[in-house]
Chains A and B, each alone.
Chain A
Amino acid sequence: MKNQQEIEQMAEQTLNSLNNMQQLEANEYLHSKILQRMNDNRKVVPMAYNRVMLRLAAVMVVFIGINAGSFYMLKQSDNTVTVKKAANADAFANAYNLNNNVDSY
Chain B
Amino acid sequence: MTEQELIACLLKGDENAFKTIVNTYKKMVYNTVLGFVQNMHDAEDITQDVFIKVYENIGKFKQQSKLSTWIYRISITQAIDFMRHKNRKKRAGFLSSLFGANNELLHEPVEFIHPGVLAENKERSAILFNAINRLPEKQKTAFMLQKVQDMSQQKIAEVMQLNEGAVESLLMRAKGNLKKLLINYYSSI
Q: Say whether B51 contacts A7, CB under 8 Å.
A: no
Which of A17, A27, A33 has the most chain B CB within a 10 Å cutoff?
A: A17
Chain A, 64-79, CB within 8 A of any chain B CB: none
Which of A8, A21, A37 is B117 in contact with, Cβ under 8 Å?
A: A21
Q: Whole-angstrom distance between the alpha carbons of A15 and B54 in the complex?
A: 34
Within 8 Å by CB of B125, from A12, A17, A24, A41, lies: A17
CA gap between A2 and B187 in the complex, in Å: 8
User: Complex formed: what's the CA distance from A23 to B151 in Å?
Assistant: 13
The interface residues of chain A lying within 8 Å CB-to-CB of B42 are: none
Residues of B within 8 A of A31 (CB): 18-19, 22-23
- Judge whether B124 and A38 touch: CB under 8 Å: no
Would you call A18 and B147 a contact (CB within 8 A)? yes
Q: Evaluate contact between B48 and A34: CB separation under 8 angstroms.
A: yes
Interface SS of chain B: helix
Count of B interface residues, CB-CB < 8 Å: 37
- In chain B, what residue has the closest Cβ to A24? B116
Within 8 A of B (CB), among A1-58: 2, 7-8, 10-15, 17-27, 30-31, 33-34, 37-38, 41
Closest to A36 in B: B48
User: Quick check: is B52 within 8 A (CB to CB) of the other chain?
Assistant: yes
| Chain A contact residue count (CB 8 A cutoff) | 27
A45 to chain B, nearest CB (A): 12
How far apart sit A20 and B119, CA to CA, in the bound complex (Å)? 11
Enumerate chain B residues within 8 angstroms of A18, measured Cβ to Cβ: 114, 117, 121, 125, 128, 147-148
Cα separation A7 to B55 with both chains bound (whole Å): 49
- The reply to whether B116 and A21 form a contact with Cβ atoms under 8 Å apart is yes
In the bound complex, do residue B31 and residue A23 qualify as a contact, i.e. CB atoms below 8 Å apart? yes
Cβ-defined contact, B48 with A24, below 8 A: no
B44 CB–A CB distance under 8 Å: yes
Residue B127 CB within 8 A of the other chain? yes
User: Would A33 and B179 count as touching, CB distance under 8 A?
Assistant: no
Check A37/B48 contact, CB under 8 A, given A17-B117, A18-B147, A24-B116.
Answer: yes
Q: How far is the CB of A26 from chain B (nearest CB, A)?
A: 4
Q: List 5 A-B contacts (CB under 8 A).
A: A7-B187, A11-B179, A18-B148, A22-B116, A24-B30
Q: A11-B182, A19-B147, A24-B116 are in contact. List 9 more A-B contacts (CB 8 A).
A: A10-B182, A13-B124, A14-B127, A18-B114, A18-B117, A23-B116, A26-B47, A27-B26, A34-B51
Interface pairs A-B: 6 shortest CB-CB: A11-B182, A22-B116, A26-B30, A17-B124, A26-B26, A17-B121
